[in-house]
Amino acid sequence: MPGRCERDVRTAAECTDTAGPPTPPADRLVEVERRSGGGGPARTYYRPSEAGMQMLRSWSRDWSEFATSIGSLITQAAREES
């Protein structure tokens, strides 16, 4: 189920998901560069901004903590069954 975000988060001041903390607008997380296509259509290149990298590192830490917790629960349950 989607959070309370506008369809185009670039126009939103803040995108709030009911399952987590507020997320900055997408245009602050990704840098966009358009280059001519050398005879073809222009190409668009995307890369994470510094804010995007910080968010990615934060999500990575959160995921690691979550995975460790779940692993501990599974290990504990397996020991209790033995």
Distances (CA, A) of 62 to 15, 31, 47, 65, 73: 19, 24, 22, 5, 17
What's the number of domains the chain is made of?
1
Tens of pLDDT, residues 12-70? 444 544 556 566 677 789 999 999 878 889 999 999 999 999 999 999 999 999 999 99
3 belongs to a structural domain: no
Residue 38 belongs to a domain: yes
Pick from 6, 57, 63: nearest CA to 29: 57
Chain-centroid distance, C-alpha 4: 16
Q: Kindly state whether residue 40 falls inside one of the protein's structural domains.
A: yes
* Domain around 22: 9-81
Prediction pTM value: 0.55
pLDDT of residue 23: 62
Task: State residue 48's pLDDT score.
Answer: 94
DSSP 8: S
Amino acid in the structure at residue 2: P
What residue type is 22 in one-letter code?
P
Tell me if 62 is assigned to some domain.
Answer: yes
